[in-house]
Amino acid sequence: MNKTRNALLTVLLVLLSLSAVNVMAQGSGKQKSSPPFLINGKMPHLTKLLMQQWDNTDLHLSDTQKSKLLVVRKDTIGGVQKLGKEIAALENQIAEGSLSGKTPEELGSMVQAVAKLKTEATMIHLHCIYNTRKILDQQQSDFLDKL
């Protein structure tokens, strides 16, 4: 009976220890970065949506359209990823500065830089939407709008 109780107690302690380690790991983990745009969730990510529907016969993308859309996607993703890294680095510096006692005035230029970079990322997104719509015909645009 004592052996069984000790074994159960040991198992419970191990489980509690593992749970505590898991909670600490989650708390100290990296936060997921937010989208680098000024406007989030209100504009479509058309090239992502198109990739999901790439071979859909109802969409009828031609090979020419596909090659043009891939260029738009590559340019968009490349530009946004580059800006996203810059934005994340500045946001981290601002957060660290605010925790270390820097004044809002001392952090202001970095905040302005983040705003400028997010504006650039938003413009890249708008160009992506515009350029994608120019490649598609009306029926294809209507198809995407219904998704």
What integer is the mean pLDDT of 84-90?
97
* Same-domain check for residues 81 and 46: yes
Dig out the tokens for 6 from the structure.
């000790």
What pLDDT does 58 receive? 95
* Same-domain check for residues 58 and 123: yes
* Same-domain check for residues 50 and 118: yes
* Same-domain check for residues 39 and 22: no
Q: How many other CB atoms are found less than 10 A from the CB of residue 109? A: 9
What pLDDT does 139 receive? 96
What pLDDT does 147 receive? 87
* Same-domain check for residues 107 and 77: yes
What integer is the mean pLDDT of 123-144?
97
What integer is the mean pLDDT of 100-118?
97
Which tens digit of pLDDT belongs to each residue from 62-80?
Answer: 999 999 999 999 999 999 9
Residues 6+ apart with CB under 8 A from 119: 38
Name which residue leads in pLDDT, 132 or 1: 132
pLDDT band at residue 2 using 50, 70 and 90 as cut-offs: low
What pLDDT does 33 receive? 72
* Same-domain check for residues 100 and 49: yes
Residues 6+ apart with CB under 8 A from 144: 44, 46, 49, 50, 53, 59, 136
The tally of domains found in the chain comes to 2
pTM, two decimals, is 0.75
Which range of residues forms the domain containing residue 137?
34-146
Running DSSP on this structure, what letter comes out for residue 140? H
Least confident range of 9-18, 23-32, 40-49, 83-92: 9-18
